[in-house]
């Protein structure tokens, strides 16, 4: 019999993950702070619970995928939070991007309740979530990852076990720091050539034939040239991730000079943005200058 799955958080990522779990035939119970998003999945066969606690109580495997550390603390420890409902022998998988310290605190809280925990943040974006092709960066025990393998395969295509709890989040923060810097560098290059009188498209043509090419730049260059910043990965979340990476650097006693500069630049764009925008909107940095 298929394990019962729970899913807490139905944002840009959680909603398509839920659809793929249903398509794969897992009995699914969901909760979202804004209930209307959960009702979309109810039409497709999910049960909607009244609280995160009831999701956990109904599930053998419970996913959380919410915005940031305060949101995760709220759905786990808030009243009525998921930790209080966790079944003995069940597995909690957190796919939000949060700090490694918080991941280890959650692992401890799960262990106290006789449950297992994987920190399992993802990469692949909304496209990967829709296709069921997310890449998971996992911290935890191999035996637990093996146990939930069939469930993860409904939403992902690659699973990297990176070490004990916290290791998944550590690698995820480094990954997103790199992506933030790549897109920031692209925006700088485009602004530079444009101001100097050469069309941005010409830089992109050359970039495509150079070592500077990168898949993220293939995706974000057209977005910047069209200036269509409809959020796919919202800038507010990228700023959160760069901030978490900077905190991790501090905890480990190192300075990240480019990360510090990128954090300042993304913060300035977020402060000036009037709507939710994609992180490619870092290209708006020079709008007022």
Ligand X SMILES: NC(=O)c1ccc[n+]([C@@H]2O[C@H](COP(=O)([O-])OP(=O)(O)OC[C@H]3O[C@@H](n4cnc5c(N)ncnc54)[C@H](OP(=O)(O)O)[C@@H]3O)[C@@H](O)[C@H]2O)c1
Query: 35 or 195: whose CB is closer to ligand X?
Result: 35
Q: Is the dihedral of CA 48, 54, 56, 61 positive or negative?
A: negative
Contact status, residue 219 vs residue 243, Cβ threshold 8 Å:
no
* Shortest Å, Cβ 9 to ligand X: 4
Q: How far apart are CA 67 and CA 25, in angstroms?
A: 27
Query: 232 or 267: whose CB is closer to ligand X?
Result: 232
Residue nearest to ligand X (CB): 11
* Shortest Å, Cβ 65 to ligand X: 5
Binding footprint of ligand X on the chain (CB under 6 A): 9-14, 32-34, 37, 65-67, 71, 74-75, 96-97, 122-123, 125-126, 232-233, 237, 241
* Shortest Å, Cβ 122 to ligand X: 5
Q: How far apart are CA 251 and CA 148, in angstroms?
A: 32
Contact status, residue 33 vs residue 58, Cβ threshold 8 Å:
no
Query: 209 or 275: whose CB is closer to ligand X?
Result: 275
Active site residue 172: yes
Q: How far apart are CA 54 and CA 65, in angstroms?
A: 16
Backbone φ, ψ for residue 77 (5° rounding): -105, -15
In this structure, are strands 116-119 and 91-94 parallel, antiparallel, or unpaired? parallel
* Shortest Å, Cβ 277 to ligand X: 13
Contact status, residue 207 vs residue 217, Cβ threshold 8 Å:
yes
Query: 22 or 72: whose CB is closer to ligand X?
Result: 72
Query: 8 or 203: whose CB is closer to ligand X?
Result: 8
Out of 54, 172, 240, 270, pick the active-site residue. Answer: 172
* Shortest Å, Cβ 231 to ligand X: 8
Q: How far apart are CA 16 and CA 98, in angstroms?
A: 20
Q: How far apart are CA 5 and CA 30, in angstroms?
A: 9
Q: Which residues are known to be catalytic? A: 172
């Amino acid at each position: 019999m298929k394990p019962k799955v729970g899913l807490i958080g139905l944002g840009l990522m959680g909603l398509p993950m839920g659809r793929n779990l249903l398509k794969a035939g897992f009995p699914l119970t969901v909760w979202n702070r804004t209930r209307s998003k959960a009702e979309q999945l109810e039409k497709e066969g999910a049960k909607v619970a009244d609280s995160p606690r009831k999701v956990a109580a109904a599930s053998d495997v419970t996913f959380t995928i919410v915005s940031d550390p305060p949101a995760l603390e709220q759905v786990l420890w808030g009243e009525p939070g998921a930790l209080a409902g966790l079944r003995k022998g069940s597995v909690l998988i957190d796919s939000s991007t949060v700090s490694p310290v918080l991941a280890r605190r959650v692992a401890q809280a799960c262990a106290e309740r006789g449950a297992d925990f994987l920190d399992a943040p993802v990469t692949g974006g909304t496209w990967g979530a829709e296709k069921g092709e997310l890449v998971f960066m996992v911290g935890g025990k191999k035996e637990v990852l093996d146990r939930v393998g069939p469930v993860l395969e409904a939403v992902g295509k690659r699973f990297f076990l990176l070490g004990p709890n916290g290791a998944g989040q550590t690698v995820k923060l480094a990954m997103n720091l790199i992506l933030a810097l790549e897109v920031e560098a692209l925006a700088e290059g485009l602004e530079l050539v444009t101001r100097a009188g050469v069309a941005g498209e010409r830089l992109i043509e050359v970039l495509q034939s150079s070592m500077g090419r990168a898949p993220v730049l293939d995706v974000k260059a057209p977005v910047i040239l069209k200036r269509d910043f409809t959020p796919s990965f919202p800038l507010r979340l990228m700023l959160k991730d760069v901030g978490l990476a900077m905190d991790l650097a501090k905890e480990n006693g190192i300075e990240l000079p480019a990360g510090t500069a990128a954090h300042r630049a993304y913060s300035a764009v977020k402060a000036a943005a009037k709507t939710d925008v994609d992180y490619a909107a870092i290209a708006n940095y020079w709008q007022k200058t």
